[in-house]
Every structure is written in C-alpha cells, then in structure tokens.
Chains A and B, each alone.
Chain A
Amino acid sequence: MNKDIKNLVADIKSRFELVGEDYPKDDQAALDFNSRDIHSVLAYVKSQGFRQLSILSCVDWIKDNQFQLVYIVFNWETGIRLQVRTRIDRSNPKFTTVTSIYPGAKYYERDVHEFFGVEFEGNPDSYKQLFLENWDDMPPLRKDFDSKAYSDRKYPVREYAADFSKAGDKK
C-alpha cells in the first residue's frame, strides 16, 4: 500500500467515523462512512486535492435491503483514488445531493435516480427521465428487475421455421 494513502486514511480517521475500509489496489482506498458524514467527508477530501468526482454510482445490496452509494474521487496530483461509500435504506431510498460540492454530480445523480430510484433532495432535475422514455416498470438496474423477462414480454423473438433434426435439410 501506498504511503500517501496511509497518511490520508489516518487523517480521515481522525476526523470522521470510519465504518469500514478496504484497499482493492495499491493506489486506491475504499472507505465506508455513515450516510450523515458523506457531505463533510466529500468536502474535506475535495479540499485535500481530490478535485474530481470520477463517478457516482450505486450498488443494490438486495439481501441487506440497502443501496450503497459510491462516490469515486480522484487526486490528479498524487494519482490516488478514493471510493467514498455509504449505505442507505433500500425501501425508502433518499439522499441529499452533493452538487454543491461536486457540480458534476448533477447528471450522475439523475442517472442513479433513473436506474435505482434513489431520490436526491436538492437536485430538482434528478426526478426527470433521462435515458429511458415512457418507462413502465421498476428502475431497471435494481436486482429484482429481470430484464430478460421484460424483454420477452415486450419484444417478440423470432421463431425460425427451419428444422435441422433430419439429414438432407439445408445446411
């Protein structure tokens, strides 16, 4: 593990309550926080050089009935990447926007809202449809959504007439 990361994590630990940590790569740390801390954590890491929000994503942990929000931030000076993660309740998924800290999060939040149904308070646009049009089912990236079944129901599949079971058929 990178020495910079060690210092950084120690620093963050001294300021915030760290729920869990993981180091998937040499230059990457995955840190779990309580959801109430996320904004202050992001504001802090941004002041520490993590000026870029690479992506905001969501993972559906359906067994735990939780959504995990993942903010991946990057420090272009040191090349260190942080996954700032938190879990929120899946049955009433609500979170507060981080657009005041990372304005670029606006459309990522819309994306997460569209595909997982997480609502971001303070981002008025996040409720609008973006990629989908006339969508008539649950948010499609949730684990309990079966895209195959949806496709079968909505889009007919071709049935070929050719029968290859006997010799002499066209090959």
Chain B
Amino acid sequence: MDNTVEKQENIRKGWDGISRFFRANSIWMLMYCTGCCAIELPQAMTSRYDMERLGMGPMATPRQADVLLITGYLSLKTLRRIIYAYEQMSTPKYLVAFGPCTLNGGIYYDSHAVINRLDQYLPIDVYIAGCMPKPEAVMNGFNDLIGMIKRKEANGWKKYEQNKDWYRKNQIQALGELRIKDEFHE
C-alpha cells in the first residue's frame, strides 16, 4: 500500500518538477498597460532588450497568459478590469507589480482615484522598484520570478484561492460592487 502511495507521490513530484521547468522557461505575459511603467515594456520586449530570450512574450488574452503585469498605478476603474482579467487566467498564474504605486500608492498616495496597495486586492509575486523601472530592472524582476517558479515560491495564485474571501472583501470595499454594467457613459 505504502509503496504505491509513495510511488504516486514520486510521480506527482516528478511531474511537478518537469512542469515547473517548463513554466519557468516559458512565461507569457498579458499585454495590459495599466499605468505608466508600461512605457518601458516595449523597450524590454523589443530588439534592445529582447525579452523573448527569457522565453517571455506578449499574449493577447488573459486565458493564454501566465503572468499579469501591473505596470504602475491602478485607478479604481482599472482595478476592476484587472480583477476580471486575473480571474480569467488559468492557473498557475503569477503577478508582477511595477513601481512604487503598487506598493504604497507612490506619487498618487493622495489621489481620490488611485488605490494605494495592490496586495490588498490581488496577490503579488514580485515587486520591481523604480519609477519607472529601467528595462534592465524589469528583466531582472522577471528573472527573479523565474527563480521563484523554479523554487516553488511563486504561490500567489494559491494564496488568492485560499484567502479569496478576504481579497473579495477588500475588493468590494474599494469598488463598491465588483461587476458593473459599463454602459453608463454611452
């Protein structure tokens, strides 16, 4: 009995290791420019820094993406859409936050429209400092994420699932209600 359990466990572990290897070396990011830090992403993606060397590339829809990049400040309006997008992504999924605005509000700490700390609403795997981070810093941040995936430390998505109620509570506190009809402006 024990033997088979152990065997299964070993197989699971082995599979886990293999999938982590692939996941670490092929990270697709969602092309969603939430804030100003996104202006350095094209630099990191294109010829000068060529992010594809890390196995990273942009993807068109949240379904296909592995990593969600929060490039800077999030206004409430964007936060709502980010939550939609994050919840659409298939697991495992990661979240990288750029710049000070995601940490503690940044320069918009006193703005009526911008949230202060992102980790209240979504789990974050890596923060990258700098306003805005240079492409090198961005690349290094992704490299850290790759290391974390390899070491099994990038578990933000698990945390989100386990503490969904808490996150939901915060989200609702900021947003009022999570899903709204956005035809109000037409």
Direct contact between A and B judged by beta carbons closer than 8 A: yes
Task: Give the B-binding residues of A (Cβ under 8 A).
Answer: 128-134, 136-137, 140, 145, 147-148, 150-151, 154-158
Residue pairs across A and B with Cβ atoms less than 8 A apart, 29 shown, are A128-B185, A129-B184, A131-B113, A132-B77, A133-B77, A133-B80, A134-B76, A134-B175, A140-B113, A145-B112, A147-B110, A147-B111, A150-B112, A151-B105, A151-B109, A151-B110, A151-B111, A151-B112, A151-B114, A155-B114, A155-B116, A155-B117, A155-B174, A157-B104, A157-B105, A157-B109, A157-B117, A158-B104, A158-B116
Chain A proximity mask over B154-176: 1 for CB below 8 Å, otherwise 0: 00000000000000001001111
Tell me if B2 counts as interface (CB < 8 A to partner A): no
Range of interface residues on B (Cβ < 8 Å): 20 to 34
Chain A residue numbers with a CB within 8 Å of B105 are: 151, 155, 157
- Given the known interface contacts A136-B176, A151-B110, the answer about A156 and B185 at a Cβ–Cβ threshold of 8 Å is no
A147 to B176 Cα, complex, angstroms: 18
Please tell me if the beta carbons of B103 and A158 are within 8 angstroms of each other in the complex: yes
A131 to B186 Cα, complex, angstroms: 12
Chain A proximity mask over B115-126: 1 for CB below 8 Å, otherwise 0: 111001000000
The majority secondary structure among interface residues of chain A is: loop
A132 to B76 Cα, complex, angstroms: 8
Please tell me if the beta carbons of B109 and A156 are within 8 angstroms of each other in the complex: no
- Nearest-neighbor residue (CB-CB) of A157 within chain B: B116
Chain A residue numbers with a CB within 8 Å of B180 are: 133-134
- Nearest-neighbor residue (CB-CB) of A159 within chain B: B104
Please tell me if the beta carbons of A129 and B185 are within 8 angstroms of each other in the complex: yes
- Nearest-neighbor residue (CB-CB) of B121 within chain A: A155
Q: Which of B70-115 contact A (CB under 8 A)?
A: 76-77, 80, 103-105, 109-115
Please tell me if the beta carbons of B104 and A155 are within 8 angstroms of each other in the complex: no
Chain B residue numbers with a CB within 8 Å of A132 are: 77, 113
A133 to B112 Cα, complex, angstroms: 12
- Nearest-neighbor residue (CB-CB) of A147 within chain B: B112
